[in-house]
Amino acid sequence: MKINIVESNLERIVIVGGGFAGLMLAKKLAKANYQIVLLDKNNYHQFQPLFYQVAMAGLEPSSIAFPLRKFFQGNRNVFIRVTEVTAIEPENKRLQTPLGIVNYDHLVIATGADTNFFGNAALAAKALPMKSVSEALYLRNRILDDYEKTLSITDMEERQGYIDIVIVGGGPTGVEIAGSLAEMRKYILPKDYPEMNCEEIEIILIQSGDQLLKGMSDEAAKKALEFLQKLDVKVILNNRVTSYDGEIVTMKDGTTIRSRKVIWAAGIHGAIFKGFPADAIGPGNRLKIDHNCRVLGLENVYALGDVALMSGDEKFPEGHPQVAQVAMQMGKYLADAFIRKQKGKPVGTFAYRDLGSMATIGRNKAVVDLPWFSFQGFFAWLVWLFVHLFQLLGVRNKVMVFINWLWNYITYDQSLRLMIRPHVPPKEEKSE
């Protein structure tokens, strides 16, 4: 059965994924001479860089998510369907989804990345990932729930397992979570839980390499470590987690840590679905693309953003970093290429303009690497705030996030510590 989308005489571009890349592409093509079909498993765009603030009860999920339909209000050429693509049939130029078959003239895969547990099923079952708003919310509930439970636990060892938190992965996400948790321990928990000795809470960050923030400058890595240590985060370098059973974390050197919460920020891999030829799939489960963003070996199929792997760039020969700027620039490039092609104009190749990278480690503390220089501390933190606020979609979201940040900054408090769990209706009892 075909999905119900009006057939038009315009060429149809199907975009899978309304993240940074897909949304940019759809936005730039919304008024072009193509029929745009945007498929996403969610009805909203998510701003992943601020997930950790949702998890740490600093922001509401609605402040960092934006409804796709609102974004394209009034665009008659854009057709949105909320569904998960399960397979591609390149020979028939169509996709499979639970809603039905979707035909394409041109197909753009912008599905981003999923958490990579490196095939470790035990870790996948017990560690807490943070790749979606729902996972960030789940983490927020777990943290708050465990502190509530702690108050009733008398066994010291068991109690320690509830209050300590392990974060695996010393990239920007791991560093930002660790800094944020350390501030929560310092400023918020002592006020909320006067019965608890919050100094007993250990926050442990484990990084397999010999420095944090791999890919950023040495100064940024050193400063991030210094900031975290000042906040009393225990940073373990050159070690990796090999297993976790929900209670005990075991590391490569045999050391163990007791913790009921292991936050997994240690790796991602391309979020692809069935049907791609093996030759098109590269390291990290990413789709290999040429310098025009075309998936190798497939006709009229493109890939953008985290899921795409373009080799041979002068600065990034092994592929671009999986960050929002790459995704957005690829989206812009491809939109321009489609428009130029239709007008019979020549199309150049994609060139990434590296605008730098940054991470925040808490109040007044951040590290920023620009292409020409690096800086850290208060000014870097202001830059981090401004850039993230500017990139958020929607005026309402910008205002809400700004007010929240201002309030948190002035009061040293966050006001969103509610444990809201989804309602599960009771099962109907079978009559005899």
Ligand X SMILES: Cc1cc2nc3c(=O)[nH]c(=O)nc-3n(C[C@H](O)[C@H](O)[C@H](O)COP(=O)(O)OP(=O)(O)OC[C@H]3O[C@@H](n4cnc5c(N)ncnc54)[C@H](O)[C@@H]3O)c2cc1C
User: What is the x/- site pattern for ligand X, positions 93-122, by CB under 6 A?
Assistant: -----------------xxx----------
Q: How far is residue 292 from each of residues 17, 18, 200, 215, 303, measured CA to CA in Å?
A: 19, 20, 54, 25, 10
Task: From 44-52, 182-190, 220-228, 332-340, give the range in contact with ligand X by CB under 6 A.
Answer: 44-52
Q: How far is residue 124 from each of residues 115, 139, 203, 242, 252, measured CA to CA in Å?
A: 9, 15, 21, 12, 17
Provide the 3-class DSSP secondary structure of residue 36: strand
Name which of residues 124 to 183 contact ligand X (CB under 6 A): 130-131, 172-173
Q: How far is the CB of 64 from ligand X (least distance, A)?
A: 11
User: What is the x/- site pattern for ligand X, positions 294-333, by CB under 6 A?
Assistant: -----------xxx--------------xxxx-x------
Angle of the 156-163 helix axis to the 133-150 helix axis, nearest 10: 150
Please count the helices (runs of H) and the strands (runs of E) in the chain: 12, 24
Q: How far is the CB of 263 from ligand X (least distance, A)?
A: 10
Q: Which residues pair with 243 in a beta bridge?
A: 250
Catalytic residue among 60, 135, 176, 183: 176
Question: Considering the rule CB under 6 A, would residue 391 count as an interface residue with ligand X?
Answer: no
Q: How far is the CB of 149 from ligand X (least distance, A)?
A: 26
Provide the CA 169 distance to its chain's centre, in angstroms: 14
One of 29, 35, 37, 40 touching ligand X (CB under 6 A): 40
Q: How far is the CB of 276 from ligand X (least distance, A)?
A: 12
| 60 in catalytic set | no
Residue 235 makes CB contacts below 8 A (sequence gap 6+) with 170, 178, 204, 205, 207, 212, 225, 228, 229
Q: How far is the CB of 15 from ligand X (least distance, A)?
A: 9
Q: How far is the CB of 432 from ligand X (least distance, A)?
A: 44
Cα–Cα nearest to 103, from 13, 18, 40: 13
- By beta-carbon proximity to ligand X, the closer residue of 35 and 116 is 116
Residue located via tokens 């890595």: 221
One of 273, 316, 375, 405 touching ligand X (CB under 6 A): 273
* DSSP 3-state percent helix, strand, coil across the chain (nearest 5): 35, 25, 40
User: What is the x/- site pattern for ligand X, positions 59-88, by CB under 6 A?
Assistant: -------------------------xx---
List the catalytic residues.
176
Q: Which residues bind ligand X (CB under 6 A)?
A: 16-22, 39-42, 48-49, 51-52, 84-85, 110-112, 130-131, 172-173, 271, 273, 305-307, 322-325, 327
